[in-house]
Amino acid sequence: MLLTITTTHPPASDLSYLLHKHPGKVQQVEISGGIAHVFYPEVSAEKCTIALLLDIDPIGLVRRNNGPAGNEFALEQYVNDRPYVSSSFMSAAIVKAFSTAMNGRCKEKPELVNVAMPFEISLDVLPVRGGEKVLQELFVPLGYSIESTRHIIDPAFPSWGESRYFSVKLRNTLTVQQLLSHLYILIPVCDNDKHYWVGRNEIEKLLEKGQAWLPQHPARELITVRYLKHQKSLANEALEILLKDESTVLEEEAPLTTERKIRVHDLRLQTVLEELQQTGAKRVADLGCGEGKLLRLLLGAKQFEFVLGMDVSYHALEIAKDRLKLDRLPANQQQRIQLIHGSLTYRDKRLEGFDAAVLVEVIEHLDPPRLAALEKTVFRFAKPRIVIITTPNAEYNIKFPDYEAGQFRHNDHRFEWTRQEFAAWGDQVAAEHAYTVIYKPVGEEDPETGALTQMAIFTRN
Amino acid sequence: MLRDQTHIHIPEFALVVLIGASSSGKSSFGRKHFKPTEIVSSDACRGMVSDDENSLTASDDAFDLARFITAKRLKKGLLTVIDATNVQPEARKDWVQLAREYHVLPVAIVLNMPENVCEQRNALRTDRNLGKHVIPNQVSQLKRNLKKLKLEGFRHIFEFRSPEQADAVQGIIRDRLYNNKQEEQGPFDLIGDVHGCYDELVSLLQTLEYENTDDVWQHPAGRKAVFVGDLVDRGPKTPAVLQLVMNMVKAGTAFCVPGNHDIKLLKWLNGKNVQLTHGLEESITQLMEHPAAFREEIKIFLDGLISHYVFDGGKLVVAHAGLREEMQGRGSARVREFCLYGETTGETDEFGLPVRYNWASEYKGSAMVVYGHTPVPEAQWLNRTIDIDTGCVFGGKLTALRYPEKELVSVPALHTYSKPVRPLLPPVVHTTSLQQEFDDVLDISQFLAKQIVTTNYGHNITIRQEHAIAALEVMSRFAINPKWLIYLPPTMSPAETSKLEAYLEYPAEAFDHFRKAGVTQVVCEEKHMGSRAIVVVGKNEAAITKAFGITNEGIGTVYTRTGRAYFTDKTLEQAFLQRINEALERAGFYEQFETDWVCLDTELMPWSAKAQSLLETQYGLVGAAAIHALHATVNSLEHTVASIPEAGVLLEKYTTRQQQVAQYIKAYQQYCWPVNSLDDYKLAPFHILATAGKTWTDKDHAWHMEAIRQLCAADPAFLLATPYKVVDVQDPQQVQEATDWWLRLTESGGEGMVVKPFQFIHRNGKGLTQPAIKIRGREYLRIIYGPEYTFPEHLRRLKERGLSGKRSLALREFVLGLEGLQRFVNKEPLQRVHECVFGVLALESEPVDPRL
């Protein structure tokens, strides 16, 4: 909400020339979503402070219906932090209020433009995703010293813990143009959000304001990715231009864990596919098909004459339809596949008559009391000859670097079972519905914990 | 044809096929005797698919269209007339087949006109140009096959050989189908398979208070008996049973439908070669002791039995082996087969008997179906059907179902007269009913599409497919066992926006609203700020199992307005419920309400107990950001004012903002307190929704408040009786008092109040009135509209809000809620209860301003 910039570079009052704002007045600039006030709390030869104060219209934010989308509650909810924080709105105010200084011009005293001066900046309040560590990573390499106070959510309820809001003081000696370009880019990077849609022209802004310092910045990937609102293609494009000859682009750090995850999931699907092929099944149903990764593999294998994909999420099915390019398949291929919206807790005639059904990482998304319904739907009513079920092996969790006891791998998991728990469930289901079951690890088996994923293969007696 | 054909008779539900060459007068005949909408004309269909009624190339498509329209009409049970030449047997075959598919009787009306009559008429027509050979061809084709119509499957055939004959027909009389007894409203006593067990039958009739006068059993109150068939075979006194039933039927004190055994006996009586198995031999031996005239009488009686009956305006169907919905009230060989033998899967079991297909498990019809045929240890309801053959002849019992009371009355068998091939399972002690077991998994089909929920509250509620899609996902991923979900509460609309400058909501508008709606008395209840929670609690687990069919899930549950479990910790949930249970016991609630369970509509506090993440990620965060930012800003402005006086305006504005944010923080803080033990929860019930066999929506809100107050007195530290006022909206003083009360409540931090019509369900000439309207306090609304909403320029804009969408939604959800509860206490199949609950969830995905 409030940014102040203070200098003691004598005569300090020259700051008003540099920033091209009259020291004796309160001035306004218009920004989208409201206005910003510019005024001087203090002007003397020894010390001069200029303040940029946001005046965002909270009702207007909602009415325009294009509030800060990335914020977790902004669009749906109407009680909103945007009017009170320093975010991309502040960047918009900086560029509007101090455009001449940002462009490195000063009509009255052009000699000041290239003078490095001592500055003290205060921001009230700055939301920082990632806390002090990120703050340090962003500002220290640029020569700032940081003094920050993290605010707790509510002193009346200490157990609610700390907020992501900081009151921040930064000190550095540099030119005003450098200072403003840092703030312009790094404020929304701290917030990790933007109040407007981010497109290709955002790359230009980043390059223009960051050209001088971003390529050397050790956190350039983080800055680029966050600034471009995590749009991978935009970020890669920007980094390519930024780094030019340096060929070590994005791959190094951030994507490593996701890469690994991708490999694990592909492996899981490959395993299920091979199992299915061995059963000789011709008509198969992928129950909980999600966005259709396994369906694609199944379509690729001629053995499967008909493939059904079912998911409870209509949205996921639309993505699957898109990814599989169902509309563009030739007619004979189109007849091999069908996507249906459905649920494993309801009996469904459409699931009858299949040779095999697979549930890849599905059961753990159901509350344990609802499993009884799933068992009946699959094993009593649909009763395919083969049922393959995979689920996480909870024992393996201790091998994750950021493992915390009681933590599940995904926040929608309702349970994660040890191998013994899975087998107890599987044995009971098999006994009740006249199936025979065997268990297999999926992935490399650790002698202590077993494999990452466990699989049960049920065959109807 | 020599008979008098001035009035011809056809069944009320028939597929009438007009047969005749072009220009033989079919269309005029049709127009004269049938409604235009009853006639499906091939010419018209040809026109619709090709713009040319004479186009021969369009014939196939036109036929498809005609067939499609006809099928839709027959499905709905509407008489339909086919206006096409139909002179070739192949063309007629299709119609006969379609009639069979829908179990409709095909009727042929033949206009067999002399060739020259057709030619002359055709010559006068300008709209048609037929080749010379067409009419002669058609006439000769017609004549060639005319004799085979009966063989083709037509049950009624009428032929006219001259225009005079056709014109002589003055009217077509539509005869009721024999199975249509809709005017017979009962009350009935439906009696299961007797199989010659005369003594048990007499004993049952006596138990049912029938009296025997001159060999005719009759009920003094005019009740009628209905026999579901299989009177004969296996048992000791088949002739006596037949005599008794024949006498009753003849005297009009009973109805009877045939069973497969009865029909087999008829075949034997008719001299057909039948195997003397399954007890037929006993019947024959017994009958041979009687004179031939008696056997002749039996033959006529059995021959006259109608496959099934539809009684009481379509509400009751009786057939020996049951009947699918699409066959009820229809007539065809397949219907008769089904009535007699039911349906089999084609497999045989280990005793060599055919495996029966459980048609009842898929039954979704609205008529109650009562049947026998398959002996069961206990008669049990499943999807509005019930098998009342309790195997008397096998040593079980003879059972009657009283209609409409739905009471079962049985007398035990005196002996085991016959040993069944497949042993009758001994009656198992079931903790859950057949219906409840069946309801373990609901069928998805109806929830995938648009639904129209028919309710008893004057509204039928439409659920759009896109909303059903959303609800299915929520229901599947987050909701608890649907057996618990007997009710979801409706959304509640706020009062119309206040005309007062400083208020968005104020009591006056709520009182105005109800006054205009014709409500004279309202109840104002304090609105607690917690989480809406539906509490189901039983005396013990057995009570829950009996009423809800749920085992091993404890003595009850607490769920949110979207059907999620309120507690994630099962142990805590059960402790919470146990505490309510103890209060119910102490208050004598179970005795007073003659129940062992109750469903309560409540508010559960503190808000922070359920909304913790919302507080941490939203309300608390916004407060933290705002209070620190504004503190720094006001500081900075205070410095500035010293040198730049014009900054005073800003200082004033930001100081006000700071105060408002402080008020906002205070507002949400009041609804938060830490929960360390059960004592920290407060539960405020406000409706007693249902108890065993009863909903309480017929009681007014003062009754609910008082009944709940008594309950709360049993555990005042935990249960909160809601303060309320009854207000006469015509009395300005009472209105003022209530308004002052609201001001006091909200100024001290209360959320506000809810105003309801005194009656739970209030109607006026236009329909249902809003069940409740909330008036939220000025401070509380900061949580909803933002900390600074009271700034005049903000408030001015916020006042532009429309309530009609919210109001319509509230009414529709209210109706669905009531309907679901009623269906549950009526012990309807879960599918029917779930339909209502699912509907509320689906409606909740309609886009409505969440701040309302």
In this structure, what CATH number is given to the domain that contains residue B763? 3.30.1490
- Answer yes or no: do A341 and B472 touch at CB < 8 A: yes
Nearest to A377 among B441, B640, B644 (CB): B441
What confidence score (pLDDT) does residue A336 get?
93
Place of tokens 């024959």: B284
In this complex, the residue of B440, B476, B633 whose CB is nearest that of residue A53 is B633
Q: Is pLDDT at A39 greater than 70 in this prediction?
A: yes
pLDDT band at A71 (very low <50, low <70, confident <90, very high): very low
Residue B1 lies in a domain: no
State yes or no: pLDDT of B220 exceeds 90: yes
Q: Is A377 on the interface with B (CB under 8 A)?
A: yes
What is the distance between the alpha carbons of residues A216 and A220, in angstroms, rounded to a whole number?
A: 8
How far apart (Å, rounded) are the C-alpha atoms in residues B471 and B845?
7
Q: Are B141 and B219 members of one domain?
A: no
What domain count does chain B have?
A: 6
Nearest to A215 by CA among A172, A176, A249: A249
Cβ neighbours of B646 in A, within 8 Å: 25-26
CB contact under 8 A, A53 and B631: no
Residue B246 maps to a domain: yes
Is residue B395 domain-shared with residue B467, that is, in the same domain? no
B-chain residues within 8 Å CB-CB of A347?
441-444
Q: Which of A411, A373, A424, A413 is nearest to A391 (CA)?
A: A413
Q: Both tokens of residue A410? A: 């995904």
The residues pairing with A393 across neighbouring beta strands, listed in sequence order, are A417
Q: Is A314 close to B646, i.e. CB distance below 8 A? A: no
Residue with tokens 């360390």: B676
What pLDDT, on a 0 to 100 scale, did the predictor assign at position B293? 94
Mean pLDDT of chain A: 89
- Judgement on whether residues A261 and A169 belong to the same structural domain of the protein: no
Residue B85 region, left (φ>0) first, then alpha (ψ -120 to 50), else beta?
alpha
Give A262's pLDDT tier (boundaries 50, 70, 90): low
Mean per-residue pLDDT, B125-154 = 85
Q: How far apart are CA B390 and CA B372, in angstroms?
A: 8
Please compute, for residue B838, the number of CA atoms within 13 A of its CA located in the half-sphere on the CB side: 34
**Phi/psi-derived region of residue B727, left when phi > 0, alpha when psi is between -120 and 50, beta in every other case:** beta
**CA A287 from chain center: how many Å?**
27
Q: CA dihedral defined by B659, B661, B666, B671, rounded to 10 degrees?
A: 160
**Residues B210/B219, Cβ–Cβ less than 8 Å:** yes
Decide if A43 touches B, using CB distance below 8 A: yes
From B13-17, B739-743, B791-795, the region with the lowest mean pLDDT:
B791-795
Q: What is the pLDDT of residue B275?
A: 87
Is the Cα torsion angle A438, A439, A442, A445 positive or negative in sign?
negative
Q: Which of A374-388, B30-44, B221-235, B790-804 has the lowest mean pLDDT?
A: B790-804
| Residue A37 at interface with chain B, using a CB cutoff of 8 Å | yes
Asked if the structure places residue B263 within a domain, the reply is: yes
Residue finishing a domain among A228, A253, A278: A253
Q: Containing H/E element for A150?
A: strand A145-152
Which one of B404, B429, B454 terminates a domain?
B429
- Contacts with B631 from chain A: Cβ below 8 Å: 124
Do B196 and B277 lie in a common domain?
yes
B831-836: average pLDDT: 94
- Burial grade of B181 (CB within 10 A; 0-12, 13-18, 19 or more): buried
Q: What's B400's domain CATH number?
A: 3.60.21.10
| pLDDT of A255 above 70 | no
Decide: A163 and B620 in contact? Cβ < 8 Å: yes
The CA–CA distances, whole Å, from A364 to A286, A348, A390 equal: 16, 21, 9
Give the CA-trace dihedral at B495, B499, B501, B507, to 10 degrees: -40
pLDDT value at position A78? 74
Both A169 and A212 in one domain: the answer is no
Q: Which of A253, A272, A295 is the last residue of a domain?
A: A253
Closest to A369 (Cβ–Cβ): which among B476, B481, B617?
B481
Task: Select the residue from B443, B478, B618, B628 to test the A interface by mutation, using most A Cβ atoms within 10 A.
Answer: B628
User: Does A151 lie in the same domain as A230?
Assistant: no
Please tell me whether residues A307 and A427 are part of one structural domain: yes
Query: Using alpha carbons only, what angle is made at residue A383 by residues A381 and A384, rounded to the nearest 5 degrees?
Result: 145
Burial class (CB in 10 A: 0-12, 13-18, 19+), B429: exposed
Say how many Å lie between the first and final Cα of chain A, rounded: 69
Residue B258 has pLDDT above 60, yes or no: yes
Cβ atoms A52, A122 nearer than 8 A: no
Structure-token match 């020894």, residue found: A46
Q: Is B482 helix (H, G, I), strand (E, B) or coil?
A: coil
Task: Suggest the residue from A49, A84, A363, A381 to mutate for an interface test with chain B (most B CBs closer than 10 A).
Answer: A84
Residues A117 and A186 in one domain: yes
A and B: number of Cβ contacts within 8 A = 189
Domain boundary among B705, B721, B737: B721
pTM to 2 decimals?
0.80
Q: With the CA atoms of A396, A400, A404 and A407 taken in that order, what torsion angle do they form, in degrees rounded to the nearest 10?
A: -60
Higher pLDDT, A245 or A105: A105
CA nearest to A62 within chain B: B785
CATH number at residue A272: 3.40.50.150
Mean pLDDT, to the nearest integer, of A13-32?
91
Same domain? For B30 and B153 the reply is yes
Q: Which of B622, B651, B852 to mutate to test the interface with A (most CBs of A within 10 A)?
A: B622
- B181 domain-assigned: no
Residue B676: inside a domain: no
- Which residue among B472, B481, B621 places its CB closest to the CB of A343? B472
Q: Do B334 and B100 form a contact (C-beta atoms < 8 A)?
A: yes
- Say whether pLDDT at A67 is over 60: no
Looking at residues B107-117, what average pLDDT do you find?
A: 92
> A80 and A173 share a domain?
yes
Domain interval for residue A140: 2-197
A83 in B contact zone (CB under 8 Å): yes
In a domain, B183, yes or no: no
Residue of B282, B256, B249, B248 lying closest to B268 (CA atoms): B282
Residues A183 and A235 in one domain: no
Burial readout B822-852 (b: 16 or more C-beta within 10 A, e: otherwise): bbbbeebbbbbbbbbbbbbbbbbbbebeebb
Distances (CA, A) of B79 to B37, B87, B106: 10, 21, 10
Nearest CA-CA distance, residue A422 and chain B, Å: 20
Position A376 pLDDT exceeds 80: yes
CATH code, domain carrying A93:
3.30.1610.20
Asked whether the predicted pLDDT for residue A252 surpasses 80, the reply is: no
Q: What is the mean pLDDT of residues B305-311?
A: 95
Calculate helix-pair angle for B465-478, A314-323, nearest 10 degrees. 110
- Chain A residue numbers with beta carbons less than 8 Å from the beta carbon of B626 are 81, 83-84
Q: Is B718 on the interface with A (CB under 8 A)?
A: no
A190 touches B at CB < 8 Å? no
pLDDT of residue A182: 96
> Cβ separation of B786 and A58 shorter than 8 Å?
yes
Phi, psi for A31 (deg, rounded to 5): -130, 165
- A70 by DSSP, 3-state: which? coil
Asked whether residue B69 falls in the same domain as residue B19, the answer is yes
pLDDT at A75 over 50: no
Same domain, A180 and A317: no
Same structural domain, B787 and B807: no
Q: Judge if B619 and B602 occupy the same domain.
A: no
pLDDT at B762 over 90: yes
- A400 φ/ψ angles, rounded to the nearest 5 degrees: -75, 140
Put simply, the answer to whether B476 touches A367 (Cβ < 8 Å) is: no
Q: Do residue B611 and residue B548 come from a single domain?
A: no
pLDDT at A256 over 50: no
pLDDT at A151 > cutoff 60:
yes
What is the β-pairing status of strands A386-392 and A453-460?
A: antiparallel
**B458 falls within a domain:** yes
Statement to judge: residues A314 and A186 lie in one domain: no
Strand partners, B603: B532, B684
Structural domains counted in chain A: 3
Q: Cα distance from A149 to chain B (closest Cα, Å)?
A: 11
pLDDT at B614: 79
Alpha carbon distance B603, B608 (integer Å): 13
ipTM value for the complex: 0.85
Q: Read off the pLDDT of each residue in A17-38 and give the average, rounded to a whole number.
A: 92
Interface touch A348/B443, C-beta < 8 Å: yes
Query: Helix, strand, or coil here: B386?
Result: strand
Tell me which residue of B548, B519, B552 sits closest to B536, measured CA to CA: B548
Cβ within 8 Å, pair B616-A376: no
At residue A250, the pLDDT reads 44
- Which residues does A201 contact at the CB level (< 8 Å), separation at least 6? none
Whole-angstrom distance, CA of residue B215 vs CA of residue B199: 15
Chain A neighbors of B474, CB-CB under 8 A: none
pLDDT at B459: 83
Residue A248 vs residues A236, A240, A242, A433: alpha-carbon distances, Å:
11, 10, 12, 56
- Find, among A87, A61, A56, the residue nearest to A74 by Cα: A61
**Are A223 and A348 members of one domain?**
no
A163 and A15 in a common domain? yes
Kindly give, in sequence order, each residue whose CB lies less than 8 Å from that of residue B503, ignoring residues fewer than 6 positions away: B778
A151 and B618: CB-CB below 8 Å? no
Amino acid at site B792: P
Q: Is residue B675 part of a domain?
A: no
B477 Cβ under 8 Å from any chain A Cβ: yes
Nearest chain B residue to A370 by CA: give it.
B481
Please write the tens of the pLDDT for every residue from A382-436. 999 999 999 999 999 988 877 777 788 888 899 999 999 999 999 999 999 999 9
Boundaries of domain holding B776: 497-528+723-801
Region of A427 on the Ramachandran plot (φ > 0 left; ψ -120 to 50 alpha; else beta): alpha
Co-location of B76 and B17 in the same domain: yes
**Which of A346, A363, A411 has the most B C-beta neighbours within 10 Å, making it the best mutation to test the interface with B?**
A346
Residues of B with CB below 8 A from A37's CB?
650
pLDDT for residue B800 is more than 70: yes
Same domain? For A11 and A129 the reply is yes
Same domain, B545 and B506: no
Q: Looking at the structure, tell me whether residues B351 and B304 fall in a common domain.
A: yes
Test the A interface: residue of B345, B438, B466, B477 with most A CBs within 10 Å: B477
Domain containing residue B26: CATH number: 3.40.50.300
Grade residue B120 by pLDDT with cuts at 50, 70 and 90: confident
Cα distance from B691 to chain A (closest Cα, Å)? 25
Residue A259: per-residue pLDDT: 46
B394 and B540 in a single domain? The answer is no
Quick check: A139 pLDDT over 70?
A: yes
Is A63 in the B-facing interface, judged by CB distances under 8 Å?
A: yes
In chain B, count of helices (H) and strands (E)? 29, 37
- Nearest-CA distance from A54 to chain B in Å? 10
Interface of B with A in 345-404 (CB under 8 A): none
Residue B515 is predicted with a pLDDT of 96
Cβ separation B618–A79 shorter than 8 A: yes
Examine the pLDDT at B1 and tell me if it is beyond 70. Answer: no
* Residue B849 pLDDT grade (very low, low, confident, very high; cuts 50, 70, 90): confident
Report the chain B residue with the minimal C-alpha distance to residue A340. Answer: B448
